[in-house]
Chains A and B, each alone.
Chain A
Amino acid sequence: MTALTLRAARTRSAGLVLGVMLACFAVTACGSGSGRAGHGTSSRFAGVALAQPAPKPEFVLTDTAGRPFDFAAQTKGDLTLLYFGYTHCPDICPVHMAQIASVLRDDPIANVKVVFVTVDPARDTPEHLRGWLDNFSHDFIGLTGTPAEIKAAEEAAGVPEAIAYDDGTFGHAAQVMAFAPNGLGYTVYPFGTRQSQYAHDLPLLAAMTRPTADSGART
């Protein structure tokens, strides 16, 4: 945890780092195996509310068409969902993506961008990433880069750096981060989030177009 804290102090998104860490603690504190978002929080969101709204991270990666993608600039004004994963992940990544795709199909949001950053650039070529994401939505944005670029994106987003294991699997952050169109992050969605929780929160977040000090917490 010390390393994380040090890294947090170095990044511009220290608030987000701490928020995500707090959110992780909040989920952990729910007891073994609950894995469900929203427990123990007093919030108008169904997801895990950050203690303080966090600025959208800034990083540049490469999209599945091979073009540079400036995350903060090219998602400006959009409800933005950000996730770090890999396509050979059978358990968690596809469920998150499928849930979000399903919710957006049922209740479309005009200004939404779903961004999946691979932590496995060696196997997740732009073509492979595109093919995998197309199983969920042709609109989902896949990003890749050099290991150093991806590490920088993880740091900016305040998630721990993914770890590659010998068997081809990765340790990676499990939560989807949500940023309202006003550019601030209010919630994260740890693994275990239900479709109904996304369905509840996404329209709320999409409507937050102006800067606000509202952390989402009930007063």
Chain B
Amino acid sequence: MSRRLGWLLLLAVTSVASCGHGGGGTGVAIRDARIPMPAGSDAALYFTVVNHGTADRLVAVHTAVTAHAQLHRTVTDGGLVHMEPVTDGLVVPAHENVVFAPGGLHVMLLDAKPMTMGESVPVTLVFDHAGDVTVRATVVAAADAGGDEMSGDGMSGMG
């Protein structure tokens, strides 16, 4: 292999890596996509949107396990928690992360097909600018769903 070809390969690898896995080439990447093992027919999908680029907007989520995937936010009001649909999509500010985590933002998967622990579920997130970003969400133990990103507002800056 010539040295020039080696450099070209390295550049190619680097440019792909900079998009992140599942990135659509505009700087939006999805991290830690996971579905807590559902106890019933309704499930929740969590992930972190990492945006290295300009502002974008998550407008829809598609997955084969359900035809009804909705962006939701859990909010607390007067000592009660409830879920609100996120309408008109969710803005992902430039150079920020948006965290979907228990107690905050989540994608509700209504009437989802049965899943098994450890299963890898393909999920397509549709962004205004980045377009379709397909990732695989792992079905994890519900007790571990929170991780370190359990959050009430689902937003954390990259600084």
Chain A residues with CB under 8 Å of chain B are 1, 4, 20-21, 24, 28, 32-36, 87-92, 94-95, 97-99, 101-102, 131-132, 135-136, 159-160, 162-163, 165, 167, 169-174, 191-192, 194-195
A35 close to B39 (CB less than 8 A): no
Is B19 positioned at the interface, with any CB of A under 8 Å from its CB? no
Pick from B36, B40, B81, B150: contact of A172, CB below 8 A: B81
**Which residue on chain A has the smallest CB distance to residue B39?**
A135
A131 to B37, CA, bound (A): 14
CA distance A174 to B40 in the complex (A): 19
Question: Once bound together, how far apart are the Cα atoms of A191 and B37, in whole Å?
Answer: 18
We find that the number of chain B residues with CB closer than 8 angstroms to chain A is 37
Using A33-B155, A88-B40 as known contacts, say yes or no to A98 and B145 having CB atoms under 8 A apart: yes
Residues of B with C-beta under 8 A to A1:
78
| Interface of chain B residues 92 through 115 with chain A (CB within 8 A) | 102-104, 106, 108-109
Give the A-binding residues of B (Cβ under 8 A).
36-44, 72, 74, 76-83, 85, 102-104, 106, 108-109, 141-143, 145-146, 150-155
How many contacts between A and B, using CB within 8 angstroms?
A: 117
B44 contacts across to A, CB distance below 8 A: 90-91
In the assembled complex, the CB of B108 is this many whole angstroms from the nearest CB of chain A, namely 5
Q: How far is the CB of A69 from chain B (nearest CB, A)?
A: 21
User: Quick check: A33 and B153 within 8 Å, CB to CB?
Assistant: yes
